[in-house]
Structure 1
Amino acid sequence: MEFIIITGLVVFIIIYKLVSTSKSNKSEQQNIPTSRQNKSSNPVSYSATSDDDEEGLATFTIRTSFGSEEEPSSNKSSGQWLNESHSIQINGRQIIRGFFYSGGVLESIDGYGTEPSLVDDKRAASKADNFDSANEVYTDESLGYWPKYATLSKRCRGVYLDWLASERNMPNMPIGYVFIYFYGFERRIIENKMNNIVSDSEFLSIFNEVARLNKVYWENRSFRNYASNFLELLFLMRPLLLESRVDEIPETHNSLAFKVKLAKAVNEQKAISALLAIEWLRNNDEYSLKMPARRCEVEFNKLFALKYTEKFGEGMIVKPNKTKLRLAYYAASSSIRAVELDLDDLPDPSILKSPIRKLIPLAESCTDELNAYSRYLGKAETSRDDIAALMLLPKELVNEKTSPVIESFKSWANSVIENNNSITSVKEFWAHTGLTVPKTISKKENELILNLASKADVGIAPDLRFHHAKLKVDSSIVLFTPSHGEYFEPTDAFNQTGLAIRLGSMVATIDGHIDDAEKLALEQLINHDDKISPTEKRSLHAYLKWRLNTPSTVAGLKVRIEKLKPNEVETIKKFIIGIALADGKVDTSEIKQIEKLYTNLGLDKASVSSDIHNITSTKTPLSNKQQKVEAGNTAFILDEAILAMHESDTTDAKSMLGCIFSAEEDEVEHIDPVSQTNAGGLDLAHLSLYQALCEKDKWERNEVYELCQKSKLMVDGAIETINDWAYEQVDAPVLDDDGDIYVDLEIVEELKE
């Protein structure tokens, strides 16, 4: 009986203990401050042990933490704000500037624990030490995500006090220390937002100090965002005081100041200015500015303003919407909850989609025009002052009259046109770019040449866009002015004559000597065609001059001629012979060269003599001045009637040539993207990540983090590795880390080549 009673008591005690423990745990969990629950991602640690005697059952110990517990302080003095000019000695350090709270007792604004920024001289700190910016600054786990002076380790407190005693401008200072300092400013302003304790002078001093800190620690994205938002809060609280300083506030996404500015403009039915429209583009979730707009911000803003004014005049008028503007400031300090702002019942037009969709096409147009310029600036060792950069700017952004580079080039070009028969070398032209002469003139170099010429209103021949022939480093180039102009579109007559000039110049230069009559015949192809505009004639004359001074090539023509019909082949023959007969004679040496040309073109060289006879006898009987072609004859002599007939035939043949030959494809450079990226230098993990990122041009950082996790890569390291590889391939980065990760799809295409 006693055994049963004792056993019952033991069971009762065990059950009571279990119930009590459960209630205690629940009570502790319920007493966790709500604000901390919301703000802290508390670490939870798990430990598991197994015991064979317990049949493998696991024992789990779960610990939750909101940071180190504050140790009681012997300092019972009330915490006080020290103004900027206040000097104080703390733990062996003479701190000559205030701007922080000092004392032993100052409850945090949310009522949970001590104010995070409170400097307590009774708490232990390491001895004073001189800062050396070359050395790494000490930190440990006490400098957590939401650091507090009270919970710092002894050594970390010493480091923080050393920083307060310094100029507070060490760029390598761990950002946790800077945040403790920043928390004090947040409390000072927010705690006194409804009274006049903070004077305008002090308010302005705090603005200046936070702005200074933001510049020093700009590279830290977290601090940059919090500091910029705080500067906006200061402006919204006292706009008249800071009206002249508003331009110093860095832009932030979903800017508070922007939303208020936009709301007021719409509420007052004022036109949305170009500058405000640009801010709207930067502060919306409907559209993200692409790399050129972000890398070339100044140029993008200017170009957008020009296009916006052209389309909307003084600006768009947006009708006020019914949704009211609700703004809140979210502090960096864990002890401060959101601060609601009083906005006088303003609308919230920032949520409207229709206006932003009107702005997107303008932004896209500006982005496209700045693409080449942006890609150039993305390369190593480049500058906006480079001639190459200047050439890539949209014409609206280049003031040609005030550019010494353009003026110097224009003066040289005019000298070439006036004194050197318009002909110069590609190398001499290239010297005006200030760049090293390339091995070949690729698409990029050709665009630079065209841009430099167009900025000075100078045309060039050959122009790949219109003459379908490429420049070569060791070849000549012909200049003319005025240029083709921005809106030049070649007509069919222009293209037909250009093809005739190409074939005709082969004949004219076939014997190594250009006869004046043959040259005149080719010039008449241009001059006597009323369908060709004056601009086209200038261009074609320059092209003819280039053809007559450049070794001819029949590349590609033979293949095409083999595909022609018999009547089309006869047209080609008539044209060749017509040009050869332009000077009134065809001597034996020229006949041999024509035979060689026939052979190169895949035609029967044995038919040259008969073709000449056929052409000269089809329309006009031979006169006494004409001679038959025989083996021993040295030349053909033609009368004026036959020459006139051939001029007519040659003119008629141009339209046929236009049908036979399309653009000079064999000489035009085609860049066909390949399906596989040149991935030499990337391992499989980084290559896999890169290929995944190429699916779109913008990724949120957490998305990239998840992709990196799959390949066991670190985000920052992976971005650096991929960009290093891109630099090796095309001398430009392909990824841009600006909080979100942007993929430059133009560089992606270049990497495929």
Structure 2
Amino acid sequence: MDLASPIRQPAPPRWIPFGETVSIRGQEIAGGGFYLGTPRNYQDSRLAAVDPTLAFSGQADWRGEGLGYWPRYAGLNDRERGTFLAFLNSERRAATVGIGYVFLYFYGLEYRLLRGLAAGEEGRTEGLRILSEVARLQQHYGSHGSFGSYSQKFLAVGRFKLGVPGDVTDNDWSLAQHIKAAQMVMRHQALSADLAFAWAQALTDEARSTTWDVVRPEIKTRFGQLYAQRFGQGLIIKPGRSKLTLSYRWAGPEVGTETIQTDLPDITRSQAPMRPLIALVQQAMGELEALRRVRRSKNGTPMAELAAMPEPLRGNQVPPTFRALVSDLDAALAQQTVAVMATSRLTQGCGMGAPERLGKREATSLIQALEALGFAIEPDVRFHGPSPTPDGHVVVFRLPNQAARTPSAAYAAALLMLQAALAVAGQGSEINQSELDVAVAAIERQFALPESEQRRIEAHLRWLQLNPVTLARLENRVRLLPASEREAFAGVLLEIAAADGHVSPAEIRVIERFYRALELDPARVPADLHHASVGGRPKTAAGGGLNADVIAQKLAETGRVQSVLAQIFNEAESAATAEISSPTPSVTPASVSAAPVEGPSDSIPGLDDEHMALLERVLEVAGDQWSRADFEAACDALGLLPDGAAEMLNEAAFSLAGEPLLEGDDPLYMNDYVRDQLAQTLSDQKKLRL
């Protein structure tokens, strides 16, 4: 039914106050809040008024697809005008209404607040009502990009005009935030963390990239932490002399831009005060780069995300995925500081399933995830330990607060001392606890380890009892000790052996092997043991105890560094370096002091010609597996025993890359990371010769 009917006397546009009901061509429209009347001139045409002389239809067109970008009431057809009047006569929040109708309503509110308010308290009251109405519209239609932007800026300008403080919660730098920050600067107030973040982010080109949206909340939180640490209650910026001019672009057609001069300082004139804040944003982004990569990766997992989360953001809330594992770890450590746990329980609890092997990268991810939950394990590949075996066991312990994620300079030396001590103490019928206590006490005495590393030493000791280190590997490591430290090192071993008042023949043989590796006379062992048993210690070359820094520095010199640099220095230095750093190839006591076998020009320290040939064969194997039969055939062709050859390759690999090259039995698994390191070392040597 067509509701249109003629009227006789057109009236000029007037504002219909909120709450007032009017009749338009026989149709009552309740609620007010719009202009009603017939425009008589160009000025009237800006009012977005409802012209009662124009007909409308009761057949609604709610989608309003023909309204265009800047709709005008006079330009609508009958159905569209009828739909707009129906919208005004409703609660004005229908989700199905076209956004053009909402804009047409907004144009009138915009004009009224910026150009049509009466002076005094009456005008202010009406203005507050308009702001409230636009805020309500924003809740229902703010998701529409264009309306959300226009309405947000309108609210900022309207609140400033009426002196109303506004809520500023957006991450993006907006007009409302600009005004709020200028007001705080003018009043010599400290900037809130939210405002400081939005402002600094707006001045950081990279931070505005959408690629950072996946970690935007974390960047804001981390910035807030850094901001509080740096500025306490907040940064106070001295206001400049320039005044801020607000530029508001009208949403309504043919109105243009509104310029509003203020008494606020123009805080954009100088960026110097913002440089520290920009640096904090960049620091937060740097800390969250790893998490951003995980979240943007198609292969990201909860474990990887947990491991990549910066420690200050982890909090005390355990993610649901890991709650069962944390419960098991808490139970295991309820009555003890360290506990043995199956590696498979950790991999399953962290969502890794049951992997066939754990390389260095996989082991590091597992360890970092556990650290995020407040736990640590031994062995730890970052602390000079091998990768855990999936079907084996590890030792878990609680990670102290502020624990380091990398070993201290003295830790490597302390670890070597512990491993050697256990090798001596473990040669009796059973490991003697008194000898272990002496070993730990000696380590605590000689090396000032932080609390976290003391606990790690305790865990590593428990792991060594389950997985003893071979004497061959220890001998190779001991040979790295500088001459000035060897007597002191031997003295500690003697003190440990004599701790229980009895030294077995097996312990004596082990000590003699260490003496040979240290280039000390093994014939001295009986006399030195007697001296230690009565409370004395061997006379050291330096006249004092172990120097942890010297030992740690020497142990840090990997085989790769030595093999490459040895060809750069002069011949005398090369010989001296090789004598200290290259472990001898044989692991039997009879050959410890024997001269090393001459190797080829491209070689890995500790490997003779035959073992180098075997290594080159390993590097040629496609894939990461080698059948036991093929490995034994290669060893047989070179006259090598398979088990001994694998041990020699692993010793050399461990010295160079900190991990074994070959793992498992049949098939043998090759560590890709170690294989790359060995191949790179040989490549570097070839480049140096060229």
Given the alignment, which residue of 444, 456, 459 partners 1:542? 459
Deviation at 1:353, TM superposition (A): 1.2
Given the alignment, which residue of 34, 39, 51 partners 1:105? 39
Matches within 5 A, 1:513-552: 523=440, 526-527=443-444, 529-532=446-449, 535-550=452-467
Given the alignment, which residue of 298, 308, 316 partners 2:227? 308
> Aligned to 2:410, what secondary structure does the other structure show?
helix
What is the match of residue 233 of structure 1?
157
2:554 is the alignment partner of 1:659: yes
- Find the aligned partners of 2:272 and 2:16 in 1 and give their Cα distance: 50
The code of the aligned residue for 2:105 comes to Y
- Find the aligned partners of 1:155 and 1:368 in 2 and give their Cα distance: 57
What is the match of residue 191 of structure 1?
115
2:37 is the alignment partner of 1:118: no
- Find the aligned partners of 1:315 and 1:641 in 2 and give their Cα distance: 63
Given the alignment, which residue of 83, 86, 91 partners 2:20? 86
What is the match of residue 167 of structure 2?
247
2:498 is the alignment partner of 1:498: no
Gaps of 5+ in 1: 1-72, 132-136, 595-606, 624-637, 675-753
- Find the aligned partners of 2:399 and 2:20 in 1 and give their Cα distance: 70
What is the match of residue 136 of structure 2?
212
Larger mean CA deviation between 361-370 and 513-522 belongs to: 513-522
What is the match of residue 249 of structure 2?
330
Q: Is the 8 A contact 2:314 2:372 kept in 1?
A: no
- Find the aligned partners of 2:345 and 2:307 in 1 and give their Cα distance: 17
The alpha-carbon distance between structure 1 residues 489 and 338, as it changes in their structure 2 partners (threshold 3 A), is: same
What is the match of residue 700 of structure 1?
none
The alpha-carbon distance between structure 1 residues 85 and 376, as it changes in their structure 2 partners (threshold 3 A), is: farther
Matches within 5 A, 1:339-738: 339-344=258-263, 346-371=264-289, 400=316, 413=330, 416=333, 418-419=335-336, 422-426=339-343, 428=345, 439=355, 441=362, 443-453=364-374, 460-471=377-388, 474-480=391-397, 483=400, 485-486=402-403, 490-501=407-418, 523=440, 526-527=443-444, 529-532=446-449, 535-550=452-467, 584-585=503-504, 617-620=522-525, 659=554, 665-667=657-659
> Aligned to 2:39, what secondary structure does the other structure show?
coil
What is the match of residue 22 of structure 1?
none
The alpha-carbon distance between structure 1 residues 359 and 78, as it changes in their structure 2 partners (threshold 3 A), is: same
The code of the aligned residue for 1:526 comes to I
Deviation at 1:362, TM superposition (A): 1.9
Deviation at 1:330, TM superposition (A): 1.3
- Find the aligned partners of 2:47 and 2:141 in 1 and give their Cα distance: 20
- Find the aligned partners of 1:86 and 1:307 in 2 and give their Cα distance: 53
Q: Is the 8 A contact 1:425 1:474 kept in 2?
A: yes
Deviation at 1:447, TM superposition (A): 1.8
The code of the aligned residue for 1:120 comes to D
What is the match of residue 65 of structure 2?
139
- Find the aligned partners of 2:525 and 2:429 in 1 and give their Cα distance: 31
Q: Is the 8 A contact 2:382 2:406 kept in 1?
A: no
Deviations 1:9-51 (Å, cap 9, x if unpaired)? xxxxxxxxxxxxxxxxxxxxxxxxxxxxxxxxxxxxxxxxxxx
Gaps of 5+ in 2: 1-6, 559-653, 661-670, 677-690
- Find the aligned partners of 2:251 and 2:269 in 1 and give their Cα distance: 26
Q: Percent identity?
A: 24
Q: Is the 8 A contact 1:292 1:370 kept in 2?
A: no
- Find the aligned partners of 2:379 and 2:174 in 1 and give their Cα distance: 51
Deviation at 1:564, TM superposition (A): 8.7
What is the match of residue 3 of structure 2?
none
Deviation at 1:496, TM superposition (A): 1.7
The code of the aligned residue for 2:367 comes to N
Q: Is the 8 A contact 1:116 1:148 kept in 2?
A: no
- Find the aligned partners of 1:229 and 1:288 in 2 and give their Cα distance: 23
Deviation at 1:229, TM superposition (A): 0.4
Q: Is the 8 A contact 1:229 1:329 kept in 2?
A: yes
Kindly tell me the number of residue pairs found equivalent between the two proteins.
Answer: 546
The alpha-carbon distance between structure 1 residues 666 and 116, as it changes in their structure 2 partners (threshold 3 A), is: farther
Q: Is the 8 A contact 1:424 1:478 kept in 2?
A: yes
Q: Is the 8 A contact 2:425 2:497 kept in 1?
A: no
> Aligned to 1:422, what secondary structure does the other structure show?
strand
What TM-score, normalized to structure 2?
0.61
- Find the aligned partners of 1:326 and 1:450 in 2 and give their Cα distance: 52
Deviation at 1:117, TM superposition (A): 3.1
Deviation at 1:224, TM superposition (A): 1.4
The code of the aligned residue for 1:494 comes to Y
